[in-house]
Amino acid sequence: MKQYKIAVAGTGYVGLVAGVCFAERGHQVICVDVDEKKVQKMKDGICPIYEEGLEELMIKNYQEGRLDYTTDYQKAYQNADAIFIGVGTPEMPDGSADLSYVATVSRQIAETIEKDCLVVVKSTVPVGTNDKVEQFIKDSLVHDVKVEVASNPEFLSQGRAVKDTLEAKRIVIGTESKKAEKMLKEIYEPFGLPIVSVSRRSSEMIKYASNDFLALKISYMNDIANLCELVGANIEDVAKGMSYDSRIGAQFLKAGIGYGGSCFPKDTKALKYIAKQHGYRLKTIEAAVDINSEQKIKLYHKASERLITFNGLKVAVLGLAFKPGTDDLREAPSLENIELLLKQGANIYAYDPVAVENTKKKYPDQITYVNSPEMALKEANVCFIFTEWDEIKAMKPQMYKELMKTPLVYDGRNIYSVSDMKDNGVEYYSIGR
């Protein structure tokens, strides 16, 4: 199997995971970031994100000489066989994707490469962006070299990103030439995974269509859960009955307080914006966005109806990250609820096994951070559960009764049995039950 010299622009979830996994499969990889302190930490074997198994692979491949990190993009790009762009494409106020980081890297590539090169966009970008990136690079080239651009979207799930990369269900590549297709297939040959080879624009659309379909499933189940509460049905029974239908599948049928993270919220809004640009309304996606927005603060409104005020009350918040297995707070339901609770004058005691440091960046002094669920619950007037961490799921129903001043629990992840909580004297509210 052929070994390639690969440069990866960006060391966030997309870039760092890709770079480490390419090195693990035998390629020579250098990851580029603008932050010197971050680069030094990575060289020291410290992973900048919480992701299971990633730090161990970083250390292993760095020590074995297949992986390195640098701020010197000129040195990294000039003789690379392939350059993967894995920088962020954050959401703009109107829902469109901010492509400024992609543009910056594209310009740097054009000004530094000294040999023929394949540029691969892994970042999630609007349909047609790869065409623009290729033209932009060709317009800005300093040296007489040939450049092609390919699309290779990622489909990793935070919390299991390494596994999702090394054991992916499929690798999607979008190319406009047999040469580019051949090279990308050779890069991924050591992975031994199915490869779906399509055009660049189809590849870009596959990413959005896949993520938004999963977001649709979540929002649909949350919508049904809300109706279940009104008609006296149990959403978990409904989901179980649906899951046996192979046309529907068993995944993404769990109701809760909505999706968060770096992908679903941003990608649904971006696809909605793309459709609008072309004079078309994606009504299904619009509905998913609206349902998710309302779902995130559903329990807060329930609690507001039950309590006169949150002012001066001790509020236990269990879970801050948008999902277990990550320290990512982007679009986390916890943040919207915390904001509302603080405005009401609540005294928040928050627990999360890994996301506290990230939360402190936003709320350094307004929240009391504790080291265990028990500390958060002690003498609390009300409790909100936002993330289904194992440490939280391990809490027995009777502990809420024993520790809290008022055993009043709003569970956004349906961790507990309704009957178990009731039997243990806990006033318990969940989603769709």
315, containing H or E segment: strand 314-318
Encode pLDDT of 125-150 as tens digits: 999 999 999 999 999 999 999 999 99
Distance CA 197, CA 301 (A): 47
Domain count along the chain:
3
When pLDDT is cut at 50, 70 and 90, the band that residue 159 belongs to is: confident
Same domain, residue pair 406 and 275: no
Encode pLDDT of 41-68 as tens digits: 999 999 999 999 999 999 999 999 999 9
Token duo for residue 295: 């779902």
Same domain, residue pair 368 and 414: yes
Partner residues linked to 147 by β-bridges: 117
30, containing H or E segment: strand 28-32
pLDDT score of 284: 96
Give the residue from 152, 177, 198 where a domain finishes. Answer: 198
Same domain, residue pair 132 and 43: yes
**381 close to 404: Cβ distance less than 8 angstroms:** yes
Give the residue from 180, 198, 216 where a domain finishes. Answer: 198
| Of 290, 318, 304, 301, residue with least CA distance to 222 | 290
Same domain, residue pair 264 and 139: no
Active site residues: 263
pLDDT score of 71: 97
Encode pLDDT of 8-33 as tens digits: 999 999 999 999 999 999 999 999 99
Residue 309: give the domain boundaries: 298-429
Same domain, residue pair 214 and 341: no
Same domain, residue pair 77 and 194: yes
Lowest mean pLDDT among 53-57, 89-93, 346-350, 357-361: 89-93
Distance CA 286, CA 272 (A): 7
Residue 297 has pLDDT above 90, yes or no: yes
Side-chain half-sphere CA neighbours of 1 within 13 A = 15
When pLDDT is cut at 50, 70 and 90, the band that residue 1 belongs to is: confident
Distance CA 8, CA 18 (A): 8
Provide the residue type at 106 as one letter: S
Same domain, residue pair 337 and 423: yes
Distance CA 428, CA 408 (A): 6
Same domain, residue pair 138 and 252: no
Give the residue from 167, 198, 229 where a domain finishes. Answer: 198
Angle between helices 129-140 and 100-112 (to 10 degrees): 40
Helices first, then strands: H and E counts in the chain: 19, 14
Q: Give the CATH number of the domain where residue 316 resides.
A: 3.40.50.720
Distance CA 388, CA 57 (A): 27
Encode pLDDT of 197-249 as tens digits: 999 999 999 999 999 999 999 999 999 999 999 999 999 999 999 999 999 99
Instruction: Quote the percentage of the chain above a pLDDT of 90.
Output: 97
Same domain, residue pair 291 and 357: no
Same domain, residue pair 188 and 311: no
User: Within a 10 A sphere around the Cβ of 144, how many other Cβ atoms?
Assistant: 6
Same domain, residue pair 139 and 29: yes
pTM above 0.75, yes or no: yes
Q: Give the CATH number of the domain where residue 260 resides.
A: 1.10.1040.10
Same domain, residue pair 323 and 223: no
